[in-house]
Amino acid sequence: MAEKISVVVTDYIETDLDWEAAEMARRGVDFACYQLKAASEQEVAEKTRHADVVVVNMVKITPTLMDSWEKCKLVIRHGAGYDNVDVDAATERGIGVEYVPDYCMHEVAEQALALIFACVRKVAWSRKVLDDSVARGEWDFAPVIPMFRLDGATVGIIGCGRIGSLTYHKLEHFGVKFLICDPYLSDKRKAGLGIETVDLKTLLNNSDIVTLHTPLNDETRHIMNAETIAMMKPSAYLINTSRGGMVNVDDLAAALKNNTIAGAGIDVYEKEPPSPDYPLLGLDNAVLTPHLSWYSKDAEQTIREKIVQAINMFIDGTGPRMPVNPEVFQTGKDG
Ligand SMILES: NC(=O)c1ccc[n+]([C@@H]2O[C@H](COP(=O)([O-])OP(=O)(O)OC[C@H]3O[C@@H](n4cnc5c(N)ncnc54)[C@H](O)[C@@H]3O)[C@@H](O)[C@H]2O)c1
């Protein structure tokens, strides 16, 4: 009889994985789940040694750990990033890596819209105005004046992939114009979206709102810095729901204090959570949320279903679902 496939979850954020266990039992899979986030690498190695598939949330997947594995062919990272998995080392060892970048696209796009509206309508700041006016017994709107109308404004989208294009579609109904910068978009994709692209400077010079939706890499790290922020209109807002490292936060803080730009809506930080001396804390023209763009009750269930789907595709030989190192899967098919 063929040996059962073994799936081991190193750590998870759900209350329990009973649903996954039942799904795996239906497929005859040997399923085990642990909470090894704080465990030693040796303990993680002991628990994962016999796994064919390792599902990981926060545990670090290092070359040493991979060397302890007897037959693992697939690591699935629970989430849209995979910083904790040494992908190069996995590729060298013929281990496929998958991730789940597509479980919270609507949520992140909706958060971008929420931050845009919060900035343009100065929602959080207006609450302070209300509280002050209540204390004084008369209105004083001065701190939040002026505001501008979103209808007719220009939204600049930097990166028009999964989330950027959804942000575009959701905003289409608000009477805004668009400038889109994404040098890697194919002509077919542009035609499908019905858009043209522009260079970064054109976008920054002419947008009332600039929203960031690219991956963080050597090209995009600190793409927003003193020089590029200065290219924005003084009345413009910067929105970042992508990765903290895309913005030089000291330069942004200086720009917000000097009114080089009007404000910023930020969900992501270079250090998470940010330190108490994070320079945007306490600035009225900065709307800050705690890296929760990804979250909704629905997204929580979607990621569970997509991970089970990825495991089933592995079992059926129809994968990979969302590969990080596609060359490994290709080799597997050819060989
Ligand atoms: N805040 C959150 O909770 C959260 C959740 C999920 C994803 N994210 C982040 O959102 C971002 C977008 O994710 P996605 O799934 O849409 O990615 P994606 O890969 O689908 O799209 C990224 C787009 O950026 C473009 N791009 C790459 N380099 C560029 C550059 N230098 N200038 C302009 N465009 C460039 C690519 O061509 C691509 O079209 C990522 O940084 C991701 O980590 C954040």
pLDDT digits (tens, 9 = 90+) for 46-92: 999 999 999 999 999 999 999 999 999 999 999 998 989 999 999 99
Q: Rounded to the nearest whole angstrom, what is the distance from the C-alpha of residue 153 to the centroid of ligand 1?
A: 23
* Catalytic status, residue 46: no
Query: In the predicted model, is pLDDT for residue 333 greater than 60?
Result: no
Q: Which of 1-15, 88-102, 103-117 has the lowest mean pLDDT?
A: 1-15
Mean pLDDT in the chain?
A: 96
Query: In the predicted model, is pLDDT for residue 2 greater than 80?
Result: no
Using pLDDT thresholds of 50, 70 and 90, give the confidence band for residue 335: very low
Query: In the predicted model, is pLDDT for residue 331 greater than 90?
Result: no
Query: In the predicted model, is pLDDT for residue 5 greater than 70?
Result: yes
Atom of ligand 1 nearest to the CA of 267: 1
Is the C-beta atom of 238 inside 6 A of ligand 1? no
Which pLDDT score is estimated for 180? Answer: 98
Query: In the predicted model, is pLDDT for residue 151 greater than 80?
Result: yes
* Catalytic status, residue 291: yes
Which pLDDT score is estimated for 265? Answer: 98
Query: In the predicted model, is pLDDT for residue 334 greater than 90?
Result: no
Nearest-angstrom CA–CA distance, 200 and 160: 13
Torsional class of 243: left (φ above 0), alpha (ψ -120 to 50), beta (otherwise) = beta
Question: What is the CA 73 to chain-centroid distance, rounded?
Answer: 26
User: Could you say which of 77, 243, 304, 321 is catalytic?
Assistant: 243
Using pLDDT thresholds of 50, 70 and 90, give the confidence band for residue 3: confident
Atom of ligand 1 nearest to the CA of 295: 3
Cross-sheet strand order for the sheet of 30-33:
30-33, 6-9, 53-56, 74-77, 96-98
Taking the CB of residue 101, how many other CB atoms lie within 10 A of it? 19
Beta strand 96-98 pairing with 74-77: parallel
Using pLDDT thresholds of 50, 70 and 90, give the confidence band for residue 233: very high
Nearest-angstrom CA–CA distance, 233 and 173: 24
Using pLDDT thresholds of 50, 70 and 90, give the confidence band for residue 1: low
> Where are the strands (E) in 13-61, listed by range?
30-33, 53-56
Atom of ligand 1 nearest to the CA of 166: 16
Which pLDDT score is estimated for 332? Answer: 55
Smallest CA-to-CA distance from 239 within 159, 304, 182 is with: 159
Is the C-beta atom of 319 inside 6 A of ligand 1? no
Query: In angstroms, how far is the first alpha carbon of the chain from the final one?
Result: 24
